[in-house]
Protein backbone atom coordinates (compact mmCIF):
# COMPACT_ATOMS: atom_id res chain seq x y z
CA UNK A 1 0.00 0.00 0.00
CA UNK A 2 1.20 3.53 -0.79
CA UNK A 3 2.42 5.71 2.03
CA UNK A 4 -0.40 7.95 3.31
CA UNK A 5 -0.41 11.68 2.66
CA UNK A 6 -2.03 13.76 5.41
CA UNK A 7 -3.35 17.17 4.40
CA UNK A 8 -4.14 19.70 7.12
CA UNK A 9 -7.00 21.79 5.78
CA UNK A 10 -6.61 25.14 7.49
CA UNK A 11 -9.28 26.55 5.22
CA UNK A 12 -10.59 29.72 6.86
CA UNK A 13 -9.92 28.67 10.45
CA UNK A 14 -7.18 31.34 10.54
CA UNK A 15 -9.86 33.98 11.26
CA UNK A 16 -8.54 36.26 8.52
CA UNK A 17 -5.18 36.76 10.27
CA UNK A 18 -2.15 35.89 8.11
CA UNK A 19 0.21 35.70 11.10
CA UNK A 20 -2.17 33.21 12.71
CA UNK A 21 -2.22 31.30 9.41
CA UNK A 22 1.57 31.03 9.63
CA UNK A 23 1.25 29.74 13.18
CA UNK A 24 -1.10 27.05 11.84
CA UNK A 25 1.48 26.05 9.21
CA UNK A 26 4.34 26.00 11.70
CA UNK A 27 2.36 23.90 14.19
CA UNK A 28 1.30 21.44 11.50
CA UNK A 29 4.93 20.96 10.47
CA UNK A 30 6.85 21.05 13.75
CA UNK A 31 4.43 19.53 16.23
CA UNK A 32 2.11 17.41 14.05
CA UNK A 33 4.81 16.27 11.56
CA UNK A 34 2.42 16.97 8.68
CA UNK A 35 4.00 18.18 5.44
CA UNK A 36 0.97 19.44 3.51
CA UNK A 37 -1.50 22.23 4.26
CA UNK A 38 -4.46 23.60 2.33
CA UNK A 39 -6.26 26.94 2.35
CA UNK A 40 -9.26 28.28 0.39
CA UNK A 41 -9.60 31.04 -2.22
CA UNK A 42 -12.84 32.82 -3.14
CA UNK A 43 -13.78 35.87 -5.16
CA UNK A 44 -16.71 36.81 -2.98
CA UNK A 45 -18.50 38.92 -5.60
CA UNK A 46 -18.33 35.97 -8.01
CA UNK A 47 -19.41 33.31 -5.53
CA UNK A 48 -22.35 35.18 -3.95
CA UNK A 49 -25.34 36.86 -5.52
CA UNK A 50 -26.28 40.33 -4.27
CA UNK A 51 -29.01 38.82 -2.14
CA UNK A 52 -26.68 36.21 -0.64
CA UNK A 53 -24.04 38.87 -0.01
CA UNK A 54 -26.46 41.07 1.94
CA UNK A 55 -28.10 38.25 3.93
CA UNK A 56 -26.99 37.84 7.55
CA UNK A 57 -24.85 34.81 8.36
CA UNK A 58 -27.16 31.82 9.11
CA UNK A 59 -25.26 31.26 12.38
CA UNK A 60 -24.64 34.77 13.79
CA UNK A 61 -22.34 33.54 16.55
CA UNK A 62 -19.89 32.34 13.88
CA UNK A 63 -20.03 35.48 11.76
CA UNK A 64 -17.14 37.89 11.19
CA UNK A 65 -19.35 40.54 9.56
CA UNK A 66 -22.80 42.12 9.52
CA UNK A 67 -23.74 40.19 6.37
CA UNK A 68 -22.64 36.87 4.95
CA UNK A 69 -20.73 38.74 2.24
CA UNK A 70 -18.87 40.85 4.81
CA UNK A 71 -18.14 37.65 6.75
CA UNK A 72 -16.64 35.94 3.70
CA UNK A 73 -14.56 38.99 2.75
CA UNK A 74 -13.20 39.27 6.28
CA UNK A 75 -11.84 35.72 6.07
CA UNK A 76 -10.47 36.04 2.54
CA UNK A 77 -6.74 36.35 1.75
CA UNK A 78 -5.53 38.22 -1.33
CA UNK A 79 -3.48 36.36 -3.92
CA UNK A 80 -0.42 38.24 -2.61
CA UNK A 81 -1.11 36.83 0.87
CA UNK A 82 -1.52 33.35 -0.59
CA UNK A 83 1.86 33.79 -2.29
CA UNK A 84 3.33 34.81 1.09
CA UNK A 85 1.90 31.67 2.70
CA UNK A 86 3.28 29.51 -0.09
CA UNK A 87 6.71 31.06 0.42
CA UNK A 88 6.45 30.37 4.15
CA UNK A 89 5.60 26.73 3.36
CA UNK A 90 8.53 26.52 0.95
CA UNK A 91 10.89 27.65 3.70
CA UNK A 92 9.57 24.85 5.93
CA UNK A 93 9.74 22.31 3.07
CA UNK A 94 5.97 21.92 3.14
CA UNK A 95 3.44 21.59 0.34
CA UNK A 96 1.05 24.52 0.07
CA UNK A 97 -2.29 24.06 -1.67
CA UNK A 98 -5.67 25.74 -1.93
CA UNK A 99 -9.18 24.90 -2.92
CA UNK A 100 -10.74 27.24 -5.49
CA UNK A 101 -14.35 28.38 -5.41
CA UNK A 102 -14.73 30.32 -8.67
CA UNK A 103 -13.05 30.88 -12.02
CA UNK A 104 -11.22 34.06 -11.01
CA UNK A 105 -9.72 32.38 -7.94
CA UNK A 106 -8.76 29.41 -10.10
CA UNK A 107 -6.77 31.68 -12.41
CA UNK A 108 -5.11 33.43 -9.46
CA UNK A 109 -4.12 30.22 -7.66
CA UNK A 110 -2.78 28.68 -10.88
CA UNK A 111 -0.37 31.64 -11.10
CA UNK A 112 1.36 30.38 -7.94
CA UNK A 113 2.53 27.22 -9.77
CA UNK A 114 1.44 24.79 -7.06
CA UNK A 115 1.90 21.02 -6.96
CA UNK A 116 -1.85 20.53 -6.51
CA UNK A 117 -5.19 22.36 -6.43
CA UNK A 118 -8.42 21.21 -4.76
CA UNK A 119 -11.96 21.30 -6.17
CA UNK A 120 -14.47 21.33 -3.29
CA UNK A 121 -17.64 19.26 -3.48
CA UNK A 122 -19.74 22.37 -4.10
CA UNK A 123 -17.86 23.16 -7.33
CA UNK A 124 -17.21 19.70 -8.78
CA UNK A 125 -19.83 20.21 -11.53
CA UNK A 126 -18.58 23.71 -12.47
CA UNK A 127 -17.30 22.38 -15.80
CA UNK A 128 -16.16 25.76 -17.09
CA UNK A 129 -13.86 26.04 -14.08
CA UNK A 130 -12.77 22.40 -14.37
CA UNK A 131 -12.01 22.90 -18.06
CA UNK A 132 -9.86 25.96 -17.40
CA UNK A 133 -8.02 24.07 -14.70
CA UNK A 134 -7.39 21.08 -16.97
CA UNK A 135 -6.12 23.31 -19.79
CA UNK A 136 -3.91 25.60 -17.76
CA UNK A 137 -2.74 23.75 -14.65
CA UNK A 138 -0.57 20.66 -14.88
CA UNK A 139 -0.24 19.49 -11.30
CA UNK A 140 -2.47 17.09 -9.39
CA UNK A 141 -6.17 17.93 -9.20
CA UNK A 142 -7.89 16.89 -5.98
CA UNK A 143 -11.71 16.69 -6.18
CA UNK A 144 -14.24 15.93 -3.45
CA UNK A 145 -17.45 14.02 -4.14
CA UNK A 146 -19.64 15.21 -1.28
CA UNK A 147 -23.33 15.88 -2.11
CA UNK A 148 -22.76 14.41 -5.59
CA UNK A 149 -25.00 11.93 -7.43
CA UNK A 150 -23.62 8.85 -9.17
CA UNK A 151 -24.55 10.35 -12.56
CA UNK A 152 -22.70 13.57 -11.70
CA UNK A 153 -19.73 11.51 -10.55
CA UNK A 154 -19.63 9.61 -13.84
CA UNK A 155 -19.87 12.87 -15.80
CA UNK A 156 -16.97 14.35 -13.81
CA UNK A 157 -14.74 11.32 -14.39
CA UNK A 158 -15.63 11.24 -18.09
CA UNK A 159 -14.82 14.95 -18.35
CA UNK A 160 -11.31 14.36 -17.01
CA UNK A 161 -10.89 11.39 -19.36
CA UNK A 162 -11.91 13.54 -22.32
CA UNK A 163 -9.44 16.19 -21.19
CA UNK A 164 -6.71 13.52 -20.92
CA UNK A 165 -6.21 14.50 -17.26
CA UNK A 166 -7.56 11.38 -15.54
CA UNK A 167 -4.04 10.37 -14.48
CA UNK A 168 -3.76 13.60 -12.47
CA UNK A 169 -7.14 13.27 -10.72
CA UNK A 170 -7.52 12.33 -7.05
CA UNK A 171 -11.12 11.52 -6.08
CA UNK A 172 -12.15 12.02 -2.46
CA UNK A 173 -14.93 10.16 -0.73
CA UNK A 174 -16.69 12.80 1.31
CA UNK A 175 -19.90 13.57 3.18
CA UNK A 176 -20.71 17.27 3.26
CA UNK A 177 -21.67 18.09 6.84
CA UNK A 178 -20.04 19.89 9.79
CA UNK A 179 -19.56 17.77 11.80
CA UNK A 180 -20.67 14.45 10.25
CA UNK A 181 -21.96 11.67 12.55
CA UNK A 182 -20.32 8.29 12.06
CA UNK A 183 -23.42 6.69 10.52
CA UNK A 184 -23.21 9.22 7.67
CA UNK A 185 -19.50 8.78 6.89
CA UNK A 186 -20.25 5.84 4.55
CA UNK A 187 -16.64 4.68 4.45
CA UNK A 188 -17.38 1.84 2.04
CA UNK A 189 -17.74 4.50 -0.65
CA UNK A 190 -13.94 4.46 -0.64
CA UNK A 191 -13.99 0.79 -1.60
CA UNK A 192 -16.55 1.51 -4.34
CA UNK A 193 -14.49 4.38 -5.76
CA UNK A 194 -11.35 2.25 -5.67
CA UNK A 195 -13.13 -0.56 -7.52
CA UNK A 196 -14.68 1.79 -10.09
CA UNK A 197 -11.80 4.17 -10.76
CA UNK A 198 -8.71 2.92 -8.96
CA UNK A 199 -7.08 1.73 -12.16
CA UNK A 200 -7.53 5.06 -13.96
CA UNK A 201 -7.21 7.94 -11.48
CA UNK A 202 -4.05 9.00 -9.68
CA UNK A 203 -5.41 8.01 -6.27
CA UNK A 204 -8.45 7.79 -4.01
CA UNK A 205 -8.66 10.03 -0.96
CA UNK A 206 -10.89 10.68 2.04
CA UNK A 207 -11.99 14.13 3.17
CA UNK A 208 -13.54 13.92 6.62
CA UNK A 209 -15.52 16.37 8.72
CA UNK A 210 -16.08 14.11 11.71
CA UNK A 211 -14.85 13.85 15.28
CA UNK A 212 -11.82 11.78 16.24
CA UNK A 213 -9.40 9.88 14.01
CA UNK A 214 -10.76 6.31 13.98
CA UNK A 215 -12.57 6.78 10.67
CA UNK A 216 -9.44 8.14 8.97
CA UNK A 217 -7.47 5.03 9.91
CA UNK A 218 -10.25 2.86 8.50
CA UNK A 219 -10.31 5.00 5.35
CA UNK A 220 -6.62 4.30 4.78
CA UNK A 221 -7.18 0.58 5.33
CA UNK A 222 -9.91 0.72 2.66
CA UNK A 223 -7.52 2.24 0.11
CA UNK A 224 -7.62 6.03 0.59
CA UNK A 225 -4.00 7.17 0.45
CA UNK A 226 -4.76 10.91 0.78
CA UNK A 227 -6.36 11.84 4.10
CA UNK A 228 -7.59 15.42 4.41
CA UNK A 229 -8.82 16.82 7.74
CA UNK A 230 -9.84 20.29 8.82
CA UNK A 231 -7.26 21.63 11.28
CA UNK A 232 -7.55 24.25 14.01
CA UNK A 233 -5.56 25.45 16.98
CA UNK A 234 -8.71 25.66 19.12
CA UNK A 235 -12.05 23.96 18.37
CA UNK A 236 -13.89 26.52 20.54
CA UNK A 237 -13.00 29.43 18.24
CA UNK A 238 -15.69 31.16 16.22
CA UNK A 239 -16.32 29.60 12.81
CA UNK A 240 -18.48 26.86 11.34
CA UNK A 241 -15.51 24.57 10.55
CA UNK A 242 -13.81 24.77 13.94
CA UNK A 243 -15.95 22.12 15.67
CA UNK A 244 -15.33 19.63 12.83
CA UNK A 245 -11.57 20.16 12.95
CA UNK A 246 -8.70 18.37 14.65
CA UNK A 247 -6.62 20.26 17.17
CA UNK A 248 -2.81 19.85 17.06
CA UNK A 249 -2.63 16.75 19.25
CA UNK A 250 -5.35 15.06 17.21
CA UNK A 251 -3.57 15.81 13.92
CA UNK A 252 -0.26 14.63 15.41
CA UNK A 253 -1.80 11.33 16.50
CA UNK A 254 -3.48 10.89 13.12
CA UNK A 255 -0.17 11.25 11.27
CA UNK A 256 1.59 8.94 13.73
CA UNK A 257 -1.06 6.22 13.58
CA UNK A 258 -1.33 6.31 9.79
CA UNK A 259 2.43 5.80 9.50
CA UNK A 260 2.19 2.89 11.93
CA UNK A 261 -0.47 1.32 9.72
CA UNK A 262 1.70 1.90 6.64
CA UNK A 263 4.49 -0.05 8.31
CA UNK A 264 2.09 -2.83 9.35
CA UNK A 265 0.30 -3.37 6.02
CA UNK A 266 2.44 -6.14 4.53
CA UNK A 267 2.66 -9.92 4.33
CA UNK A 268 5.22 -11.90 6.27
CA UNK A 269 8.44 -12.00 4.26
CA UNK A 270 9.18 -15.49 5.61
CA UNK A 271 7.27 -18.11 7.62
CA UNK A 272 9.05 -17.40 10.90
CA UNK A 273 10.07 -13.80 11.45
CA UNK A 274 13.27 -13.06 13.36
CA UNK A 275 11.23 -11.64 16.23
CA UNK A 276 9.39 -14.97 16.50
CA UNK A 277 12.45 -17.27 16.67
CA UNK A 278 13.10 -16.99 20.42
CA UNK A 279 9.41 -17.49 21.19
CA UNK A 280 9.19 -20.48 18.85
CA UNK A 281 12.23 -22.09 20.42
CA UNK A 282 10.72 -21.55 23.86
CA UNK A 283 7.02 -22.28 23.30
CA UNK A 284 6.28 -24.13 20.04
CA UNK A 285 4.99 -27.74 20.31
CA UNK A 286 6.57 -30.06 17.72
CA UNK A 287 8.59 -27.18 16.36
CA UNK A 288 10.75 -29.49 14.21
CA UNK A 289 7.91 -30.35 11.78
CA UNK A 290 9.08 -29.31 8.32
pLDDT for 127-161, tens place per residue? 999 999 999 999 999 999 999 999 999 999 999 99
Identify the pLDDT of residue 1.
84
pLDDT reading at 57 higher than 80: yes
Mean pLDDT, rounded, for 72-84: 97
| C-alpha distance from residue 189 to each of 145, 171, 192 (Å) | 10, 11, 5
CB 146 within 8 A of CB 128: no
Separation between Cα atoms, residue 290 and residue 75, nearest integer Å: 68
pLDDT at 240: 84
- Mean pLDDT for the stretch of residues 64-90: 96
Output the pLDDT for position 288.
77
Domain tally, the chain: 1
Confidence of residue 247 (pLDDT cuts 50, 70, 90): very high
Is residue 289 domain-resident?
no
Spatial distance between the Cα atoms of 23 and 14, rounded to a whole number of angstroms:
9
pLDDT surpassing 80 at residue 204:
yes
- The CATH number of whichever domain residue 196 belongs to comes to 3.20.20.70
What was the pLDDT predicted at 290? 63
Q: Measured between alpha carbons, how far is residue 209 from residues 8, 14, 17, 19, 174 in Å?
A: 12, 17, 23, 25, 8
State which residues form the domain around 56.
5-283
Residue 172 domain-assigned (yes or no): yes
Residue 232 lies in a domain: yes
- What is each CA distance from 167 to 38, 127, 194, 203, in whole angstroms? 21, 18, 14, 9
Asked if residue 261 is part of any domain, the answer here is: yes
Residue 178's pLDDT is: 86
Band of the pLDDT at 203, cuts 50, 70, 90? very high
Question: Cα dihedral sign for 210, 216, 22, 47?
Answer: negative
Nearest to 179 by CA among 230, 142, 219: 230
Residue 35 contacts residue 93 (beta carbons within 8 Å): yes
Confirm whether 109 is domain-assigned. yes
Proportion of the chain above pLDDT 70, given as a percent: 100
Residue 288 lies in a domain: no
Amino acid sequence: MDKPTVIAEIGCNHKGDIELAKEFIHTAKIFCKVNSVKFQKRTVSEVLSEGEYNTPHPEPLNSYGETYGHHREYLEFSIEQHAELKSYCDDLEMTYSSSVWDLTSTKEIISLELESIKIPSALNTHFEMLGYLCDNFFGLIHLSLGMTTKNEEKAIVQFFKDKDRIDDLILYACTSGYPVPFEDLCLLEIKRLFKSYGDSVHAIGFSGHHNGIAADLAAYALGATYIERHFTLDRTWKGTDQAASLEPDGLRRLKRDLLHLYEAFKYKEKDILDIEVPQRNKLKWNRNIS
